[in-house]
Structure 1
Amino acid sequence: MTATEQDAPGPELIADGVDKEIYASNQRIPVGMTHLIVAGLCVAYTAFHVGVMNLYPLEPWVYRLIHVGGGLALAFILFSSGIFNADQTDGRPGMARGSYLTLMAPGAALVSLAFLKVVSIYLVGGGADAAAAKDAILWSFGYPLVAGTVWLMVMGWFLPGRDRARIDLADAFLAVAAVTVALYIIYHAPFLRLRAGTGLAKDADMFASLAGVILILEVTRRLAGLALVIIASVFVLYSFVGPWLPGILEHRGYSMSRFFTYIYTDQGILGPTTAISSTYIILFVVFAAFLQASRVGEYFVNFAFAAAGGARGGPAKVAVFGSGLMGMINGTSAGNVVATGSLTIPLMKRVGYKPQTAAAVEAAASSGGQILPPIMGAGAFIMSEITGIAYSEIVIAAIIPAVLYFMSVYFNVDLYAQKFGMKGLPRSELPQFRKLAKQVYLFLPIIILISALFMGYSVIRAGTLAMASAAVVSWLTPYKMGPKEVLYAFEIATKMTLQLVAVCAAAGVIVGVIALTGIGTRFSSLLLGLADQNQGVALFFAMVVSIVLGMGMPTTAAYAVAASVIAPGLIQMGIQPLTAHFFIFYFAVMSAITPPVALAAYAGAAIAQSDPMKTSVESFKMGLAAFVVPFMFFTSPALLMQGEIGEILHVFISAAFGIYLLSSTVQGWFFGPLSLPLRGVLMIAALGMIAGGWLTDGIGLAAAVLVWAVQKRFVRPETVARGRD
């Protein structure tokens, strides 16, 4: 390439649109005054959280109830029960509006009655306090709330609104039901802390909690699909059928009152999962929204294109770096695939990648962002909260595994490009690296976040500083963030948060069942029994459970549930807490690219128009290192930065070479095409190198050299096999 060609002006907006708001297929897009009202509610929701975390702390129950209740209400307003089709813009086929309103009226009236009763309690008292009868306000609140909620929810299933610009009335009243539940429990919280889950609980407490659980599961269905709803429903059912189950599954069973009042406390829905979603998760979603509103995210992707877009298979390498970085911040694998994949997948196809391979690369890179420090899609903070291990220790431990994972994906795309003789994008179509390097200060928000955390600032303070810095650095770009852009960032932050609010609350239901029934302890005992004190076997079972629980479930919920069920058993077997939790976390993350239910891969397949199952298999192969390296955590603690510096360097270098050999095996390319027997030998070499011991390193290196010699024709296969005669 000549100097003239290298310095030719390239388009600086190749990533234009990466930061645009993405709408789900069932998401409403209000217009006019409706849009202003909804946007105002979204801004208020985010501003409330930022204000409480930084300025005026609230009592935890009250704060979490507003977090869940407000999130549910906004989710019903913004997301329909059905999918919007391009040719359906108004009305309900076959039903006049008057008939629909008549059919909806009973549900709306019942919910309104319950809402007005709660309002009257705040105004004049008379709720289900300690002195009230067990069946107090049952007919004016309990029965109407549950009956109205179910009525309106079922209507939404069969008669969803088709006008994307209009808020459906049935959903508006479901939002009112969500607010009613929150208001009731907030008012009665002082009593519920003492009587919830006991025989002293009032019937109204039970019906409020029952309605809340129904609303949570319905919003989870709308925003995250049926997988988590089914799992949570099975756990709820388990609480009632325990007396009729065999073996370790048996328990004495619980009444409706005891179960539902217990589940809507800080032992369940208001417990660890909601504590995390109402602090760390929403904080970093707001941070991601600020990066999006200031278009700093576009800069990250443009920077990646300038650095690697012209290399062999360039767009795939851009996806590895750009999508990994964005995935680390926004915390959702599938969401990140949709955001960055809309740009990278078509470009990968253009330079020669098959559709399913392009989608698989994007899915693997976006999922890898969840294990990339320092944010890890909020995973580092969640793990710190659950384990009590310092955040800094978790981040340091995550470095080598994350580097190995991204090396694996990078090697795979590079070897694939070698195998098929691919080139990168023309330099004339790429941004100029020299020009983008002058804007390297746009990385300051992430640098400030990391620095503040290691200087000892709290996570909340560090996240807030990073958020503010994202706005400040935007003043040095054409996309300055003023009051309007800050409000927009708050608005989209709420929309990005709603799915996580729902899934964390649904995961709270599962965590509550585990705590109430003790199934977690018994499962740990079963794990110990099956493994017969063999840590390798126990880890294999833990891997399977983590992946199964994570299928169709966002990382946060998958890890929280899996850690509750599996981690105690692994720790009891003598595995270090950090190792056990990292192991579970990695497989919870990798469930997004594990067949048969691989949400990130399916999202990429939709963009690439490829077969979802083939894409999920391909993404599994791309991220294969993440299925091998975790098993080395407990045999080689140095992979988690535990041990002497020499040992850590040895394990890292050995594992890195092993990852390259593993990628060569997957792609069938090692200095040329690999035959099946040689791929088998190279797989043995790869596993030997990754294992990290000196003996296994020697075996792995010898096997790799043998394959290299055969590939280079220094040794013929028949020469190697002659000793078998």
Structure 2
Amino acid sequence: MSQHPDPRHAERDDEEVTPVVAESVDDDAVESNRRLYTGWQWLLFAAIAIAYSSFHLISLNLYPMETWSFRIVHICGALILGYGLYAGTRFADEGHARSPAWLGWLSYALLIPAGYALYQVFMMQSAMNDGAMRIAPEIEAFHYGYPLMLATAAAIVLSWSFRQYRHRLSPADLVLMVCAVASAGYLLVMFNSPLRASTGTPFAPMGISYAAIAGAALILELTRRVAGLALVIIASIFLIYVFAGPYLPGFLGYPGLSVGRFFSQVYTDAGVLGPTTAVSSTYIILFIIFAAFLQASKVGDYFVNFAFAAAGRARGGPAKVSIFASGLMGMINGTSAGNVVSTGSLTIPLMKKVGYPGRSAGAIEAAASTGGQIMPPIMGAGAFIMAEVTGIPYTEIAVAALIPAILYFLSIYCMVDFEAARKGMRGMRKDEIPLFSKLVKQVYLFAPIIILIAALFMGYSVIRAGTLATASAAVVSWISPYKMGPRAILKALQLAGTMAIQIIAVCACAGLIVGVIALTGVGARFSSLLLGLAGVSQLLALFFAMCISILLGMGMPTTAAYAVAASVVAPGLIEIGIQPLVAHFFVFYFAVVSAITPPVALASYAAAGISGDNAMGTSVASFKIGLAAFIVPFMFFYSPAMLMEGSWLQILRVGVTATLGIVLLSATVQSWFFGPVKQWQRLVMLVGALCMIYGGIVTDVAGLAIGAALLLMQRGRHGGGTPSTATSS
């Protein structure tokens, strides 16, 4: 991006200014522990990624596989790609000493037990095909289970200290790739035989448990590499609870499960192969491929440039651009922090140029990027998990999400606008932004998203609609400057395979937690606790559910955060009489906003890294800007019409009054309405905002009266709304 003078001093018409043009929004961000191969290794992993993406497209649309087998291959492919592309520690060519040679030889030695376990899988398959009813326990233990678990555990430990060069695959990770195939191969053999029915019983082959233990360890380690320690720690606590639970007091205690019984069942549709993997192997992978095709055709750049052209000239322009661009991009990419990195690298520096402090710029980007996760129709893949868990049709969930999403983004917009007015900020000049007249000629680039929405509401399945939208992205590119030929399509498939690793690992790891909750019954005991609190106060029960949802979501990507919270909290809310749709939306919202909730706020931390401000300060500021997201879920409970539940008159009344309430709430936070707001007026304004947000007829009338009185008072005193001089913050 070309440099241009500081907009605050660039007031002369004759000053030469280069327009801001987004050119790198669609570039694939490279993580610090990601390998960058060259030569034949690059070709090999590119081919694996392309084959992985193509496998899903073919299986979902043309030749479907048996469900469990499909999900096992889905996870195994992600493990192979993940261990091939992501290192377990920092690279030697980044200032760290290279590991001694003996670590490499020790790692290569582990290929012997890993390869032997894989060989035994083929032998067992042959025996089962020849009519064997089951495999002898000593063969499963000594010839398969023990070698596999030894190789897996040792290779994971070695990978933590094995420093190699960024363009090479470490031998420890090669061992882990073989172990992933050996674990998945055994499960495929057993789950496609009559022994599948024995899972969770004393008659289940111990080999299933051995494969599941190795598989669980591989999932946890890959999750650590691609998503950090937060989810791994939470999953480990749940796994420890399985065996520590019988010794715990109170409602946490339960009779207990043996190692064999638990692990023979946790790698089935009761856990790892359950709802989270069901969604990641169908809807999420499909929309990742869709997003990759949009990136390959540079639609992301167009979205951001369109946002600049549409909103850049408004006061505080780059901040409003951030809202629109991050909402569009975040809806598709499914991670708040990832969206901050892609759009924030452009919008945050520009916000600082027009006068926003670094903290405010980062906070606005973090709050807007987080909002993309609640924006229909895609909702960062959260809507698909909700549909899978609740059984409510996807289209109904997307429609229900509309008013809350509008309220959230309206709140951020008002926060930004009032702060810009209070500080006397200007927008960007006409010559600083792309020409709208040129961009509007390429409005056809929105066609893939329009086709997706239209196909969904015409009754097509999500898979068929997603496939159509993906194909349309390639077709539309042919009338754009970035035509997608065979090479670009292969690149998009390769990018999709790489992008999918994190979310698949996270969903599989969340599946472990879901399995623990289902098999130990801790979710039911939590429900009884909420039921007891509701007997005292429903509001207290909701507040407790909010805290648990945020706590479970801290440091986790949206999909995993919601999947875990939906298993623990949502059943309890339904138990106390809340409608399933309302309960799940309540949990979903708080799982999403955990990304901007101190002290562990991933989206805010990512934004602070770009803005150069303090991470904790940025997270507090983003919490303030996203305040509406902490109030809107309570509106679901008191006014189900917010989720399109009720008559059109009720929905219209609640929507209008809640909108006015959100505007008043934003004015309260920013201490500005049509001019500066005194402290007593802020207090009255807060009361009026809460009255309208509550949604009752009496409270709506009271809130409207307060709002009208304040409006007349402000208009009479200030007459306009844009201050003549900047007011200090």
1:584-622 Cα offsets, whole Å, 9 max, x none, are 111111111111111111111111111111111111111
Q: Is the 8 A contact 1:444 1:469 kept in 2?
A: yes
**In 1, Cα distance between equivalents of 2:130 and 2:21:** 60
Q: Which residue of 2 aligns with 1:297?
A: 300
**In 1, Cα distance between equivalents of 2:717 and 2:292:** 56
Q: Which residue of 2 aligns with 1:93?
A: 97
Counterpart of 1:173 (choices 169, 175, 197) is 175
Going from structure 1 to structure 2, the CA distance change for 1:350 and 1:361 (only over 3 Å counts) comes to: same
Residue 483 of structure 2 is aligned to residue 480 of structure 1: yes
**In 1, Cα distance between equivalents of 2:221 and 2:168:** 20
Residue 43 of structure 2 is aligned to residue 36 of structure 1: yes
Q: Which residue of 2 aligns with 1:52?
A: 59
| Structure 1 residue 423, shift from structure 2 partner | 1.3
Counterpart of 2:566 (choices 563, 587, 595) is 563
For structure 1, which segment, 478-487 or 667-676, has the greater mean C-alpha deviation from structure 2 after superposition?
667-676
Q: Is the 8 A contact 1:134 1:201 kept in 2?
A: no
Q: Which residue of 2 aligns with 1:76?
A: 83
1:245-284 Cα offsets, whole Å, 9 max, x none, are 1111111111111111111111110111100000010111
Q: Which residue of 2 aligns with 1:693?
A: 696
Q: Which residue of 2 aligns with 1:718?
A: none
Please give the residue correspondences for 1:249-264 in structure 2 after superposition, counting only pairs within 5 Å: 249-264=252-267
**In 2, Cα distance between equivalents of 1:412 and 1:457:** 39
1:18-53 Cα offsets, whole Å, 9 max, x none, are 001111111111112111111110000000001100
Please give the residue correspondences for 1:236-385 in structure 2 after superposition, counting only pairs within 5 Å: 236-385=239-388
Q: Which residue of 2 aligns with 1:417?
A: 420
Counterpart of 2:644 (choices 641, 644, 659) is 641
**In 2, Cα distance between equivalents of 1:214 and 1:448:** 41
| Structure 1 residue 705, shift from structure 2 partner | 4.3
**In 1, Cα distance between equivalents of 2:218 and 2:130:** 22
Write the letter of the residue equivalent to 1:258.
R
| Structure 1 residue 374, shift from structure 2 partner | 0.9
1:466-493 Cα offsets, whole Å, 9 max, x none, are 0011111110111000111111111111
Give the SS at the match of 1:439.
helix
Write the letter of the residue equivalent to 2:189.
Y
Runs of at least 5 residues in structure 1 that lack an aligned partner in the other structure: 716-725
**In 2, Cα distance between equivalents of 1:675 and 1:466:** 51
**In 2, Cα distance between equivalents of 1:11 and 1:64:** 50
Q: Is the 8 A contact 1:10 1:427 kept in 2?
A: no
Going from structure 1 to structure 2, the CA distance change for 1:192 and 1:319 (only over 3 Å counts) comes to: farther
Q: Which residue of 1 aligns with 2:657?
A: 654
Q: Which residue of 2 aligns with 1:722?
A: none
Q: Is the 8 A contact 1:658 1:686 kept in 2?
A: yes
1:497-533 Cα offsets, whole Å, 9 max, x none, are 1111111111111111111111111110111012216
Q: Which residue of 1 aligns with 2:723?
A: none
Q: Which residue of 2 aligns with 1:513?
A: 516
Q: Is the 8 A contact 2:288 2:500 kept in 1?
A: yes
Residue 34 of structure 2 is aligned to residue 27 of structure 1: yes
Q: Which residue of 2 aligns with 1:185?
A: 187
| Structure 1 residue 127, shift from structure 2 partner | 11
Q: Is the 8 A contact 1:268 1:512 kept in 2?
A: yes
**In 1, Cα distance between equivalents of 2:118 and 2:20:** 50
Going from structure 1 to structure 2, the CA distance change for 1:126 and 1:209 (only over 3 Å counts) comes to: farther
Q: Which residue of 1 aligns with 2:149?
A: 146
| Structure 1 residue 538, shift from structure 2 partner | 1.9
1:123-146 Cα offsets, whole Å, 9 max, x none, are 565999643333333222111111
Residue 397 of structure 2 is aligned to residue 394 of structure 1: yes
Give the SS at the match of 1:80.
coil
**In 2, Cα distance between equivalents of 1:621 and 1:537:** 22
Going from structure 1 to structure 2, the CA distance change for 1:205 and 1:645 (only over 3 Å counts) comes to: closer
Q: Is the 8 A contact 1:136 1:202 kept in 2?
A: no
Q: Which residue of 2 aligns with 1:721?
A: none
Q: Is the 8 A contact 1:239 1:253 kept in 2?
A: yes
For structure 1, which segment, 595-604 or 104-113, has the greater mean C-alpha deviation from structure 2 after superposition?
104-113
Q: Is the 8 A contact 2:534 2:576 kept in 1?
A: no
Residue 72 of structure 2 is aligned to residue 65 of structure 1: yes
Q: Is the 8 A contact 2:517 2:523 kept in 1?
A: yes
Q: Is the 8 A contact 1:128 1:137 kept in 2?
A: no
| Structure 1 residue 204, shift from structure 2 partner | 2.1
Write the letter of the residue equivalent to 2:45.
V
Write the letter of the residue equivalent to 1:256.
V
Q: Is the 8 A contact 1:10 1:430 kept in 2?
A: no
Counterpart of 2:411 (choices 401, 408, 423) is 408
**In 2, Cα distance between equivalents of 1:86 and 1:448:** 46
Give the SS at the match of 1:642.
coil
Write the letter of the residue equivalent to 2:385.
I
Q: Is the 8 A contact 2:108 2:172 kept in 1?
A: no
Write the letter of the residue equivalent to 1:180.
A
Counterpart of 2:25 (choices 10, 18, 22) is 18
Going from structure 1 to structure 2, the CA distance change for 1:651 and 1:95 (only over 3 Å counts) comes to: closer
Counterpart of 1:207 (choices 207, 210, 215) is 210
**In 1, Cα distance between equivalents of 2:303 and 2:717:** 45
Q: Which residue of 1 aligns with 2:8?
A: none
**In 2, Cα distance between equivalents of 1:656 and 1:223:** 39
Give the SS at the match of 1:634.
helix
Q: Is the 8 A contact 2:162 2:170 kept in 1?
A: no
Q: Which residue of 1 aligns with 2:725?
A: none
Q: Is the 8 A contact 2:92 2:166 kept in 1?
A: no
**In 2, Cα distance between equivalents of 1:306 and 1:639:** 32
| Structure 1 residue 177, shift from structure 2 partner | 0.8
Counterpart of 2:219 (choices 213, 216, 220) is 216
Write the letter of the residue equivalent to 1:14.
V
| Structure 1 residue 74, shift from structure 2 partner | 0.7
For structure 1, which segment, 562-571 or 468-477, has the greater mean C-alpha deviation from structure 2 after superposition?
562-571
Give the SS at the match of 1:198.
coil
| Structure 1 residue 100, shift from structure 2 partner | 2.5
Residue 612 of structure 2 is aligned to residue 612 of structure 1: no
Q: Is the 8 A contact 2:242 2:516 kept in 1?
A: yes
Going from structure 1 to structure 2, the CA distance change for 1:185 and 1:13 (only over 3 Å counts) comes to: farther
Give the SS at the match of 2:257.
coil
Write the letter of the residue equivalent to 1:48.
F
**In 1, Cα distance between equivalents of 2:48 and 2:487:** 15
Q: Sequence identity of aligned pairs in percent? A: 57
Going from structure 1 to structure 2, the CA distance change for 1:85 and 1:449 (only over 3 Å counts) comes to: farther
1:685-718 Cα offsets, whole Å, 9 max, x none, are 1111211223212322333345456656769xxx
**In 1, Cα distance between equivalents of 2:710 and 2:341:** 40
Write the letter of the residue equivalent to 1:227.
A
Give the SS at the match of 1:629.
helix
**In 2, Cα distance between equivalents of 1:308 and 1:660:** 19
Going from structure 1 to structure 2, the CA distance change for 1:186 and 1:665 (only over 3 Å counts) comes to: same
Task: Give the RMSD, CA atoms, in angstroms.
Answer: 2.2
Give the SS at the match of 2:482.
coil
**In 2, Cα distance between equivalents of 1:13 and 1:348:** 12
| Structure 1 residue 426, shift from structure 2 partner | 2.2
Q: Is the 8 A contact 1:192 1:201 kept in 2?
A: yes
| Structure 1 residue 357, shift from structure 2 partner | 1.1
Write the letter of the residue equivalent to 2:107.
M
**In 2, Cα distance between equivalents of 1:485 and 1:127:** 46
Q: Is the 8 A contact 1:76 1:171 kept in 2?
A: yes
**TM-score, normalised relative to structure 2:** 0.93
1:163-191 Cα offsets, whole Å, 9 max, x none, are 11111111111111111111110011124
